[in-house]
Amino acid sequence: MRVKKTFNESEEIVVSKKEIRSFILNCMEKIGCDESHAQQLADILITSDYRGHYSHGIQRLHIYVQDVASGACDKNGTPKILKQKGSTAWVDGANLLGPVVGNFCIKLAVEKAREFGIGWVVANNSNHFGIAGWYAMHAMNQGMVGMAFTNTSPCVFPTRSAQKSLGSNPICMAAPATKGDNFFLDMASTTVAYGKIEVAEKRGATHIPNGWGADQNGVETNDPQVVLGGGGLQPLGGQEATGGYKGTGLCMMVEIMCGIMAGSAFGKSIRQWQTTDQTADLGQCFVAIDPECFAPGFAERLQSFLDETRNLEPLNEEQPVLVAGDPERGHMAMCDELDGIVYKKSQVLHLLKLADNLDVAMFKAKRLNDILACEGNESD
């Protein structure tokens, strides 16, 4: 695809992955975080922004810093296996950074899948682990089908409820096809992730679509500030008439696989978002499946299915049919073309305050005019 040369240097910047990584590591070093833990956090935050999931990228850095600096999240240690039987395991996350817990668990799940055909690992006593896709991708890169789930702080009004009692509880599945192609679904059980509304508000949006959020009484609103100022999210589907009860069911399904199965906090008992007066004690679930245990030719059959779907006649010729993972592939191609990650300046302004508070040098942006000098550049 051709990268559209529509960047506005007055509004956007391009930052190299190296600059972003150094900034993250310097911030975490200032609060005494274990270096290997900080590296794992940097990996997932950079990957999130690279894939276009800005709601879970460097925008979240100040939250991880706050959790560790306050002592609500431990800065060093190792997750511990509490129980295992055959292809399953139950892990104590030791109140460590979510990416540290998640990496430990998905690696364990892959090991079990190699031996038993499937690995199913749940963890309690964990923290925010970033994009679920990071963990499913690890399994996929080992030739497995990967899945990852987590519960989150209560921010969702279940259908017909005037109270928030569920998290946005993401669902992810990644499956390998051929020649590097794949099916890659990474989604919240809500219409949008909470962070997407935060990003919209930081970019200056004053109106969000129907079905995204509700005010403090659970009544649908289009004002992002109302949602962020004590309101909450709507389950996938929005209102009951448009299928919101299905989203409520998905939120609860994830909660069962994570909070209930892992023995962690669940539902309304999970601490409120961005508070540090208690540990998060999140529950998470990681699954790896070896497709070779089943019908032969999984990757080839999946590739045929993906191609068939993409080749469907579109409603609009300028908007081809996509499969899960295609938007992210397009975003990564753009980043590769520009040799960095594109951010709205408004997205990173709050990081200036973080840098100042920690006495850390802010990352440097590239000059877009220099990068875009060659109009003929294309990416495949």
Could you read off the pLDDT of 240-294 as tens digits, one per residue? 999 999 999 999 999 999 999 999 999 999 999 989 999 999 999 999 999 999 9
pLDDT value for 375: 39
Please count the other Cβ atoms lying within 10 Å of the Cβ belonging to residue 358. 17
Kindly state the average pLDDT of the residues 211-239: 96
Kindly state the average pLDDT of the residues 41-66: 96
Q: Provide the whole-model pTM.
A: 0.93
Least confident of 28-37, 136-145, 212-221, 326-335: 326-335
Task: Please give the share of the chain, as a percent, with pLDDT higher than 90.
Answer: 86
Could you read off the pLDDT of 172-210 as tens digits, one per residue? 999 999 999 999 999 999 999 888 898 888 888 999 999
CB 55 within 8 A of CB 195: yes
CB 196 within 8 A of CB 208: no
Evaluate the CA torsion angle 97, 101, 102, 107 in order and state its sign. Answer: positive
pLDDT value for 379: 39
Could you read off the pLDDT of 96-110 as tens digits, one per residue? 999 999 999 999 999
At 167, the amino acid letter reads G
pLDDT value for 135: 98
Look up residue 336 and give its two tokens.
């590769």
Asked whether the predicted pLDDT for residue 118 surpasses 70, the reply is yes
According to DSSP, residue 13 is labeled: E
Evaluate the CA torsion angle 175, 169, 232, 40 in order and state its sign. Answer: negative
Mean predicted lDDT score pLDDT of the chain: 93
Per-domain boundaries in the chain: 12-71+336-374, 80-191+234-293
pLDDT value for 251: 98
Assign 378 a pLDDT band (cuts: 50, 70, 90). Answer: very low
Could you read off the pLDDT of 73-85 as tens digits, one per residue? 999 999 999 999 9
Asked whether the predicted pLDDT for residue 368 surpasses 90, the reply is no
Assign 367 a pLDDT band (cuts: 50, 70, 90). Answer: low
Please, where are the H alpha helices in 156-243? 194-202, 224-228
Evaluate the CA torsion angle 130, 257, 153, 188 in order and state its sign. Answer: positive
Which phi-psi region, left, alpha or beta, contains residue 52 (left: φ > 0; alpha: ψ -120 to 50)?
A: left
Asked whether the predicted pLDDT for residue 372 surpasses 80, the reply is no
12-71+336-374 CATH:
1.10.1530.10
Asked whether the predicted pLDDT for residue 36 surpasses 60, the reply is yes
Q: How many residues does the chain have?
A: 380
Asked whether the predicted pLDDT for residue 376 surpasses 60, the reply is no
CATH, domain 80-191+234-293, list 3.50.50.100, 1.10.630.10, 3.20.20.70, 3.30.1370.60: 3.30.1370.60
Asked whether the predicted pLDDT for residue 125 surpasses 80, the reply is yes
Asked whether the predicted pLDDT for residue 369 surpasses 70, the reply is no
Asked whether the predicted pLDDT for residue 218 surpasses 90, the reply is yes
Asked whether the predicted pLDDT for residue 380 surpasses 60, the reply is no
Element containing residue 92 per DSSP (H, E): strand 88-92
